[in-house]
Structure 1
């Protein structure tokens, strides 16, 4: 029997934990837009180290608001932990899309985004005004409104119903589901599911399940004070604890125990400033 509440996990924002731990200030505003998980802002600490992006199944827009050399990029989900460049003492504004969603205004194939970073100004003609305005705006709530004015109306991408159903099912099962089960639930063949899902998201269903299962583990470690890793491995459907440890380390770049100690020392949950404001569906 699963202990954690599936609905709580499915609606939780997928933060990048190394971004949070290496920031001197990290703020979040939830979004009511169906394509957007949340908006965030961070100031990278002077002592920042181990700045990694981990697989979360999400596309991000990340704007460096530096006054001399600002930049904007769209970042696809990595498939394993990888180093990213976020500069010390720089202020960043970010938009995290919901898992599996490719923004409708991006002129790139889903597979071209996975594991890649692209110049936002080169992949959408709508970005220039947004970029010019957002780098002049210091507050997260105001930056969010700039995004809502220029890019949110075109953010929804027409995803196949099959892909949308698979995403929802995988989230509900916290990644602990096999493609053969998806075949039985959807009525489509494994081959059709694989082709359509990969075309829409840039990931295979198997890779997406693996990512979401790891995110479920992170959610448990982040939100629960006393986590048994052996019980967590069993809850998430790993064959044994060793399998869980190997998978976690590859995706998060450290062991569950080391990660837990880092978030305790770094006062992880206290670092995240949750705004009571929710971005309206533009």
Structure 2
């Protein structure tokens, strides 16, 4: 399954949060293949000169550390279900690890449903993790933070998904979220009722909500990497009935129109702002 996930389009997408990147004073990222359930690590300093950034649906769970010297905190953040304003403290340095779409760390004492569209204090649901929390927030070097968390995760299981749900997550990602429940029935051999019940119980999301998140990420990824992209072509590729439907959905999930987003990405030289390690 690991090899399959690494080959899926969503692995290349790396579950972006573009407004975090564009509102940060500095943004760094690192892709670590040591843990098969980790999408990537990232770090940024909140600028504070911009309005609060928007979180967009990505289907992922993040472990996010606010490394403030006076009041450090770590939170488990579930995927947003639509565009959602997030408050970061100006000048604070943040470090995060984003798990692959659909995967919820098995070592967290919380249900999948509780995490989705929510932020929960990390130490409240994993009090024994205080030593790792202290190591991360006291460290100022991004690479060393990555090494600390990577070692911590090495001994942990990050998947509580059954073979059926792993299969469905993989298929949805492979199709860029453009797949119907009837197609998932034919693909898996299970009825829609079983698929809906099991997927919701294990990921905290319905298959439809997860598909929306992956389609959102696919749209954002394509716009980021294709300056001359025709939105009519993108709408068709992602399975929207028409371009107007795509425009409405994009605005609901990304908080702006595709054209406005494209202009912002180009103005901010989005890809150049991301420092990879």
What TM-score comes out, normalization by structure 2 length?
Answer: 0.94
The answer for the alignment partner of 1:278 in structure 2 is: none
Count of aligned positions: 270
Structure 2 counterpart of 1:192: 194
User: Take 2:184 and 2:9, find their aligned partners in 1: how far apart are those partners?
Assistant: 22
CA contact (8 A) 2:104 2:160 kept: no
Distance 1:232 1:56, change over 3 A: same
CA separation in 1, counterparts of 2:67 and 2:170?
34
What corresponds to 1:134 in structure 2? 136
Distance (whole Å) between structure 2 residues aligned to residue 26 and residue 218 of structure 1: 18
Q: In 2, Cα distance between the equivalents of 1:163 and 1:9?
A: 16
> How far apart, in 1, do the equivalents of 2:154 and 2:48 lie?
32
Q: Does the aligned pair in 2 maintain the 1:105–1:151 contact within 8 Å?
A: no
1:100-139 correspondence runs (5 A): 100-139=102-141
Structure 1 unpaired stretches of 5+: 1-5, 276-282
| 1:104 CA drift (Å) | 1.2
User: Is 1:235 equivalent to 2:245 in the alignment?
Assistant: no
Gaps of 5+ in 2: 1-6
Q: Is the counterpart of residue 38 in structure 1 residue 40 in structure 2?
A: yes
1:94 aligns with 2:88: no
CA distance in 2, matches of 1:66, 1:155: 29
Name the one with the larger helix percent.
2
Asked whether the equivalents of residues 10 and 214 of structure 2 are also in contact (C-alpha less than 8 Å), the reply is no
Aligned to 1:181: 183
* Equivalent of 1:222 in 221, 224, 248: 224
Aligned to 1:18: 19
Match of 2:68 among 66, 69, 76: 66
The question of whether the paired residues in 2 share the 8 Å contact of 1:130 and 1:151 is answered with no
Could you report, residue by residue, the CA deviation over 1:125-163 in whole angstroms, capped at 9, with x for unpaired residues? 332111111111111110011112334421422310010
Deviation at 1:10, TM superposition (A): 3.8
**CA contact under 8 A between 1:126 and 1:150: conserved in structure 2?**
no
Aligned partners of 2:161, 2:136: CA distance in 1, in Å? 28
Match of 1:280 in 2: none
> Alignment partner of 1:93: what SS?
strand
Counterparts of 1:236 and 1:150 in 2: how far apart (Å)?
37
How far did residue 8 of structure 1 move? 4.6
Q: Write the distance in 2 (CA, Å) between the matches of 1:150 and 1:10.
A: 22
Name the Cα RMSD after superposition.
Answer: 1.3
Give the drift of 1:50: 3.7
CA distance in 1, matches of 2:221, 2:126: 33
SS at match of 1:66: coil
Select between 199-208 and 155-164 the one with higher mean Cα deviation: 155-164
Which stretch has the larger CA shift, 41-50 or 163-172?
41-50
Q: Which residue of 2 aligns with 1:150?
A: 152
Q: String of CA shifts for 1:9-31, please: whole Å, max 9, x gaps.
A: 44331121110001111111102
Quote the Cα distance in structure 2 between the aligned partners of 1:12 and 1:31: 15
Residues 104-131 of structure 1 deviation map (CA, whole Å, 9 limit, x = unaligned): 1111000000110000000113321111
Counterpart secondary structure, 2:138: coil
